[in-house]
Structure 1
Amino acid sequence: MTRKRSKILIIDNENDDVELLEAMLSSDYEVIKAYSGCKGLEIAIAESPDMIILDIMVPDITGHELCRTLKNNERTKLIPILMLTSLAEREEKIKSLEEGADDFLNKPISHMEILSRVQSLLKIKHLQENIIQERNQAYQYLDAAGTIIVIINTDTEIVFANQKSCDIFDWEKKDISGKSWIDFIPEDGCESRKQDLLDTLSGKVEPPEYYERLVVTKNADGTFSECMILWHDVILKDSEGNITGIIRSGEDTTERKIIEEELSKANEKLQISHKLKDEFLANINHELRTPLISIKGFSDLLYNERLGDLNEHQKKTMESVVRNSERLQHLIESLFYVNEMQNETIKYTFSLINIRKILEIIKKDMSPQIDQKGIEVTTDISDSLSPVHGNARYIESVLMHLLGNAIKYTPSGRKISILASEENGEIHIVIKDTGKGIPKEMLTHIFSEAPEEETKCDICYCSQDYGLIICKKIIEAHRGTIGINSEVEQGTEIYVKLPVFVDKGPICT
């Protein structure tokens, strides 16, 4: 008999992402699609899918809110939810789990990773469904109590056991009655548990409200096994207050323990996966940097004519090679910055830096892009800027990214302004373009890692720019601030404020 294919609901407003997920999953699963949060909620309630893949930035309702709503609904609360996000912030992951998400993945998604997560979550769900099904089936045959009930007298003899108890222990009522409860205690720890029981029956100690203990059960072939039971004891007393026995009620938690062990093993595998990822990135870091150092070194030698004179065309070509090798270096450093940011292992080496000199360097380095677009870049940088205590490499990366964005979104023939001044103990840096500008409703999302909505348009910064998020992290690590002002058709200015170093000292160049 062909097994019914599991049904997976994808909730994402990005057509490309939905189509990619569908291509990855459709061969093994039945895929349902929803392009908004409200529609996804409607389909989830009506269709009862086996699993939901939910993008954190769906329109009309946030991914976190939708996740919370699904987990609070009786029809959908047991459906596993896999959250997708392009954001790497640890707080966002924690928030997703707090709202009820069962797992999360960062975009871009690999084929093997999504299949592995889907299979794991569906396996857990199927185990849960099997447990629920077996429990419901067992309830049909339970006697009135529906739970294990055993009465033990002060001599540790079983004077009563209900049908549920007999089913669990696999004993007939006539055979179990009269046996000592001690016979059902496993050999490992038997003496201490026997003493606990005698102390309880004598009134020396009060039993805990709930506790888990293994009991010995009989198999059909006459051999014995062990079963984990969650127990609750009630002391029986006569009219004079003397203890006459214990009513011991319990619930079999063996299957739950099995699931917990499987989850623990799955978590160990996940931790190993994270460790392998970190080791892989560490190796890639070395493998990328080593040839890049050689490329950059020889490029500099050629460009500076240390290995022979260059004609004008060769000089221009080598200038492009040097510039792009530096860009590649910045990209590689950004990649590993994101990884370090995720693992919270970033270490900054601070020294005194000259902001004016950094601005002059990045303007010179980016002059080919400026000239190519025919943009005029004006500067107004104070000659007397105090030094800043920071990491020169990271600050240069921030300012280069901001200037690069300004160049990218400024039409040919227009202007860009770079201003730097010192006010109230801070260095104020402003990079202003004359592009199309940004709608007011988008400004609050520029540096946010979890925008509430995403609007499709071709205006500057409308799509999530993770580079700006990195910039914000770096500036905040330097005890500074970064912000944005913009109006549609009036251009955009991004400002950075960094505290000056009070004690003047030698400036790192």
Structure 2
Amino acid sequence: MNKISTKKELLEYSESIVNTVREPLIVLDQHLRVVTASRSFYEFFRANHKDTVGKLIYNLGNNQWNIPKLRELLETILPQKTSFDDYKVEHNFKTIGWRTMLLNARQIKRTQSKDRIILLSIEDITERNAIQEGLVKANKELEVLTSDLESAARVKSEFLANMSHELRTPLNSINGFSEVLYDETFGTLNDKQKQYVKNVLVSGKHLLLLINEILDMAKIEAGKMSLTISHLPIRQVLHEITGLTADTANQKKLNMCLDIADDLPPIEADSLKVKQILYNLLSNAVKFTPDEGQIGVKTRHTDTEIEIIIWDTGIGIAAENMEKIFEGFFRIETPYSRLTEGTGLGLPIAKSLVKLHGGEFVIESEGVNKGTSVRITLPIKQKSVVKHNENQNSYS
């Protein structure tokens, strides 16, 4: 009585374990007939106990399980091994349709009867497989799209660069002849004529500035912007640039505060590019600061780099526009900014040129009408040399 009770308890215990497994699970005897199946098996494959237990696995569900790959596993592979893992099988079941499954099997020998039983677990990966295939397809499509976008960007940059060159040549002639006329080199002009020539000259110079910015941006995007390195007396350059913007600042009655260190060391940098960066940033400070406001420049340095901060008490930048200002042609829409001219390329170009030097570019603002602070760092010595000339180094 105790043996029967113990046997019954063991059977109930083993069936409880089988039923706790989330994946469908079948227990087969050595003749490949079903000894028991988990609750999840019955639910997933829409089977019942009567048509399952004691049946040859291949005959389950009106021979739905007569799968060539499954036969290979159970009759060829398993007799030679005690187990197999993650064997992928695809099959179209009458009750549940097409399924992709991973089969895992363990062969166990009973100690008393010497018989063997087979535990066969079935993991349905149909949805996961479809998602993976979809991801692979999407990645391939994304690669193609990325390649197309990169190609389009290159074509755009090359077009802008070529068009800028083509436009600059006649525009330089227009500006040159306008200057000759304005200077009255070949005869005097009446007041109206002189005003018209001045308008042509001012507009021409402004247009040339815009074209140069577009050309610079096109070169940067195309990866064709290079640096011509020389030893640059940065303290002298800062005083030079602040002097260039002093007249405009005075016209607006701006208070310019300079805190430029006397011991600022010279740096290895592209002179024209650094002057372009500083002039651009300081011009912005003047342009976007209302009359009687304040602008300033201060510096500090370590043994390896210098830091330049250009600040103002101007219109500031809203938090939602902080990233947008580095997008080409983006202009912040405020009543004050509509009075100013520009392409919106100044900051993106300045940031790219600082990065090209191996420096850092950080812009901060507490919000609209709360001013702006731009901090740039430039290395005192450049690290990577592309080519070396007698008088200068070129970096790219």
TM-score norm. by structure 2 comes to 0.59
State the AA in 2 paired with 1:149.
Answer: L
2:290 partner SS: coil
In the alignment, structure 1 residue 198 sits paired with structure 2 residue 76: no
Matches for 1:78-97 after TM superposition, within 5 Å? none
Q: Distance in 2 between matches of 1:193 and 1:380?
A: 84
Q: Which of 104, 127, 142 is the aligned partner of 1:255?
A: 127
Equivalent residue, structure 2, for 1:499: 379
In the alignment, structure 1 residue 275 sits paired with structure 2 residue 147: yes
Q: Distance in 2 between matches of 1:174 and 1:264?
A: 40
**1:250 CA displacement:** 1.9
Equivalent residue, structure 2, for 1:73: none
**1:257 CA displacement:** 1.8
2:284 partner SS: helix
Checking the alignment, whether the CA contact within 8 Å between 2:182 and 2:198 is kept in structure 1 is yes
In the alignment, structure 1 residue 409 sits paired with structure 2 residue 317: no
Q: Distance in 2 between matches of 1:487 and 1:218?
A: 64
Matches for 1:3-402 after TM superposition, within 5 Å? 148-160=24-36, 165=41, 174=51, 177-180=55-58, 184=65, 187=68, 191=72, 194-200=75-81, 203=82, 206-208=83-85, 211-219=86-94, 227-240=99-112, 242=114, 244-305=116-177, 309-310=181-182, 312-313=194-195, 314-315=197-198, 317-330=200-213, 333-334=216-217, 349=227, 351-352=229-230, 354=232, 355=234, 373=252, 375=254, 387-391=266-270, 395-402=274-281
Checking the alignment, whether the CA contact within 8 Å between 2:361 and 2:377 is kept in structure 1 is yes
Checking the alignment, whether the CA contact within 8 Å between 2:269 and 2:357 is kept in structure 1 is yes
Checking the alignment, whether the CA contact within 8 Å between 1:447 and 1:468 is kept in structure 2 is no
1:466/1:306 CA distance change after superposition, 3 Å:
closer
**1:246 CA displacement:** 1.2
Q: Distance in 1 between matches of 2:225 and 2:177?
A: 36
2:177 partner SS: coil
Structure 1 segments unaligned to the other structure (5+ residues):
1-142, 450-456
Checking the alignment, whether the CA contact within 8 Å between 1:427 and 1:500 is kept in structure 2 is yes
Q: Distance in 1 between matches of 2:213 and 2:119?
A: 71
1:179/1:243 CA distance change after superposition, 3 Å:
same
Q: Distance in 2 between matches of 1:190 and 1:365?
A: 87
Checking the alignment, whether the CA contact within 8 Å between 2:363 and 2:374 is kept in structure 1 is yes
1:241/1:327 CA distance change after superposition, 3 Å:
farther
Q: Distance in 2 between matches of 1:258 and 1:407?
A: 59
Checking the alignment, whether the CA contact within 8 Å between 1:292 and 1:325 is kept in structure 2 is no
Q: What is the percent sequence identity of the aligned residues? A: 19
**1:388 CA displacement:** 3.0
State the AA in 1 paired with 2:173.
Answer: L
Q: Distance in 2 between matches of 1:490 and 1:218?
A: 69
**1:219 CA displacement:** 3.6
Equivalent residue, structure 1, for 2:11: none
Q: Distance in 2 between matches of 1:241 and 1:348?
A: 83
Equivalent residue, structure 2, for 1:23: none
Checking the alignment, whether the CA contact within 8 Å between 1:168 and 1:217 is kept in structure 2 is no
Q: Distance in 1 between matches of 2:163 and 2:352?
A: 29
Checking the alignment, whether the CA contact within 8 Å between 2:231 and 2:268 is kept in structure 1 is yes
Q: Distance in 2 between matches of 1:415 and 1:448?
A: 25
Checking the alignment, whether the CA contact within 8 Å between 2:228 and 2:392 is kept in structure 1 is no
Checking the alignment, whether the CA contact within 8 Å between 2:168 and 2:211 is kept in structure 1 is no
Q: Distance in 2 between matches of 1:383 and 1:425?
A: 17
Q: Report how many residues are paired.
A: 338
Deviations 1:127-157 (A, max 9, x none): xxxxxxxxxxxxxxxx998753322233444
Q: Distance in 2 between matches of 1:307 and 1:459?
A: 31
Deviations 1:84-117 (A, max 9, x none): xxxxxxxxxxxxxxxxxxxxxxxxxxxxxxxxxx
Checking the alignment, whether the CA contact within 8 Å between 2:87 and 2:103 is kept in structure 1 is yes
Return the index of the structure with the highest Cα Rg.
2
**1:304 CA displacement:** 2.7
Deviations 1:237-268 (A, max 9, x none): 42349461112132322233223323332333
Checking the alignment, whether the CA contact within 8 Å between 1:386 and 1:501 is kept in structure 2 is no
Checking the alignment, whether the CA contact within 8 Å between 2:78 and 2:107 is kept in structure 1 is no
**1:447 CA displacement:** 9.1
**1:287 CA displacement:** 1.9
The RMSD of aligned alpha carbons is 5.7
State the AA in 2 paired with 1:498.
Answer: L
Larger RCO, structure (CA 8 Å, separation 6 or more): 2
Checking the alignment, whether the CA contact within 8 Å between 1:437 and 1:490 is kept in structure 2 is yes
**1:391 CA displacement:** 4.9
**1:214 CA displacement:** 0.7
1:246 partner SS: strand
Deviations 1:329-375 (A, max 9, x none): 425645885x68xxxx7975462263468658866886896577465
State the AA in 2 paired with 1:326.
Answer: L
Checking the alignment, whether the CA contact within 8 Å between 2:106 and 2:118 is kept in structure 1 is yes
Q: Distance in 1 between matches of 2:140 and 2:210?
A: 38
Checking the alignment, whether the CA contact within 8 Å between 1:170 and 1:219 is kept in structure 2 is no
Q: Distance in 1 between matches of 2:171 and 2:143?
A: 41
Checking the alignment, whether the CA contact within 8 Å between 1:214 and 1:226 is kept in structure 2 is no
Checking the alignment, whether the CA contact within 8 Å between 2:64 and 2:94 is kept in structure 1 is no
After TM superposition, the structure 1 stretch with the greater mean CA deviation from structure 2, 188-197 or 256-265, is 188-197
TM-score norm. by structure 1 comes to 0.48
Checking the alignment, whether the CA contact within 8 Å between 1:160 and 1:177 is kept in structure 2 is no
Q: Distance in 2 between matches of 1:392 and 1:493?
A: 23
Q: Distance in 1 between matches of 2:263 and 2:103?
A: 77
